[in-house]
Amino acid sequence: MRVHVADHPLVTHKLTVLRDKTTPSPTFRALTEELVTLLAYEATRDVRTEPLDIDTPVGPTTGLAISNPRPLVVPILRAGLGMLEGMVKLVPTAEVGFLGMVRNEQTLQPDVYAERLPDDLSNRQCFVLDPMLATGGSLIAAIDYLFARGAVDVTAICLIAAPEGLDAVAKATEGREVHIVLGALDEKLNELGYIVPGLGDAGDRLYGLV
């Protein structure tokens, strides 16, 4: 598993505002979208492309285009939905699938309550969006879904991760092509399974519902 932690002052600045408990939902949503765009730049570094011949007003040249089959972007509901617009702004030709998951707050195990993905993902590059990688249970379940359908590689974009969750994902996905792009790698998980210092419950902060 390849992990990239963004080391850029713009990312850290925006994350600092996001973490602040006084930041209201509208600002939180705007910053989440801006952050995913910055992280997507790194996450799409290995997106598959093919040469494309075009004519500029001055003459012919060969550029490149994102190859078919198009990349699949999969936000994990709810909180991952806050990252979708930022991602598709950068990769407008991507297809979008959805996975709805909620972590049981007692067992910390993810429950899948919605799934809308293409049946056949063979030869597809997939980009999973979820702001928080805590125990890793939700991301492991999402990655398992995608590989079970034939995905060839999966890149997850997360704003914040805990070291415990990152280790769990690395173990569970050994031997598979999995990349993780993070805005920050935090200190630890607390006894309730929240990332410390983290930003609290990302879904609640985005959408204000419990």
Ligand X SMILES: O=c1cc[nH]c(=O)[nH]1
Contacts of 177 (CB under 8 A, 6+ apart): 152, 153, 154
Q: Which of 97, 110, 183, 198 binds ligand PRP (CB under 6 A)?
A: 110
Report yes or no: 128 and 120 within 8 Å, Cβ to Cβ: no
- Please tell me whether 120 is known to bind a ligand: no
What are the structure tokens assigned to 14, written together?
A: 């925006």
Q: Which does 97 bind (CB under 5 to 8 A by kind): ligand PRP, Mg ion, ligand X, none?
A: none
Count H helices, E strands: the chain?
6, 13
In the complex with ligand X, the residue whose CB is nearer, 71 or 198, is 198
Query: Does the protein bind ligand X through residue 201 (CB under 6 A)?
Result: yes
Binding residues for ligand PRP, rule CB under 6 A, total 23
What are the structure tokens assigned to 28, written together?
A: 């939180």
Shortest spacing between CB 202 and ligand X, in angstroms: 4
Shortest spacing between CB 205 and Mg ion, in angstroms: 9
| List of E strands, 98-144 | 98-103, 110-116, 125-129, 132-133
Query: Does the protein bind ligand PRP through residue 121 (CB under 6 A)?
Result: no
Stretch that binds ligand PRP, among 12-20, 56-64, 73-81, 87-95 (CB under 6 A): 73-81
